Amino acid sequence: MSIQNTIKSMTTTQILKKKGVEKITMLTAYDALMAKIFDGEVDMILVGDSLQMSFFGESDTLGATLEQMIYHTKAVCRGAKSSLIVCDMPFGSTTTPEIALKSAIQIYKETKAQAIKLEVGFEGLQSIQMLVENGIAVMAHIGLKPQFVRSEGGYKVQGKTQESVESLIKLAKDIEQKGAFSILLEGVRAEAAKAITQSVGIPVIGIGSGADVDGQVLVWSDAFGFFEEFKPKFVRQYLKGVELLRQGVRQYVKDVKSGAFPNEQESY
Ligand code: KIV
């Protein structure tokens, strides 16, 4: 018997060891094409349920299904061989510890994702424990939780009061104690995010949570200028994707109309 796969991918242990040593990088991807480009450049790739917005054109993430997450995670796993791949658990797939376990097992069986991410509060601690006890690596998403956007009436920055900071610190410590390998902290005031990060021994990956966390994650279409609907304050655009692509599209149309494409070399 031979082990075919010679490319070693990033492990959760390696991610854990980066805390306090070097910043951790993460981007979302939803298909093999993008995953191949990001692979090895970033430590982790998240197949986020944000695909429901940036890929599917919806106004929030709640419609994403387990089947969709699995389909896109399969594609990402085909494209990426060395970054650690995390599959997001969609709305409704973690309502009880048993349902969370069933959903996560389905993800592990049908894809090659090395970890799952779930949005949690204190009520989700038992699910984390059950997943970890069953050999599933867990990233816990706390702070602003997009799956709660409808019930909470919008996207609201967290950690604004002493009480909420203390509650987030307690939650982060409980999550670590239940065995999660990392925390994703979204939309938390920078000072609070720093205190939360310092209170745990596992890496805290921030989005919209300032600089004093252990790493950053961005939705790829935000980072590279492919999502024009709105640009949150915390996003830095590293590329003007829409502009670049539109230029290419217009040149293609011009060349076809004028007869400049295809030329002799491009013909059989
Ligand atoms: O679904 C997603 O892409 C996320 C972001 C916060 C990174 O969870």
pLDDT in the model for residue 1: 46
pLDDT in the model for residue 227: 87
Nearest CA to ligand 1 atom 4: 48
Nearest CA to ligand 1 atom 1: 48
Per-residue CA distances from 43 to 38, 70, 233 (Å) = 9, 21, 24
What is the 202 CA–ligand 1 centroid distance (Å)? 19
Q: Which residues share a beta bridge with 143?
A: 186
pLDDT in the model for residue 3: 54
**Closest atom, ligand 1, to C-alpha of 49:** 1
pLDDT in the model for residue 150: 92
Q: Round to whole Å and give the CA distance between 127 and 122.
A: 10
**Which letter, b or e, does each residue of 160-173 get, where b requires 16 or more Cβ atoms within 10 Å of its Cβ?**
eeeeebebbbebbe
Parallel, antiparallel, or unpaired for β 204-207 and 215-218?
Answer: parallel
Residue tagged active-site, from 58, 123, 186, 229: 186
Tell me if 209 sits within 8 A of 193, measured CB to CB.
Answer: yes
- Of the candidates 179, 181, 155, 183, the one whose C-alpha atom is nearest the C-alpha of residue 169 is 183
Count of CB atoms situated within 10 Å of the CB of 92: 14
Those residues of the chain that have pLDDT short of 50 are: 1-2
User: How confident is the model over 128-172, as pLDDT tens digits?
Assistant: 999 999 999 999 999 999 999 999 989 999 999 999 999 999 999
The residue count for the chain: 268
Residue 45, phi then psi, degrees to nearest 5: -120, 130
Task: Show the tokens assigned to 117.
Answer: 């991410």
Active site (annotated) includes residue 166: no
Q: Round to whole Å and give the CA distance between 73 and 64.
A: 13
pLDDT in the model for residue 224: 97
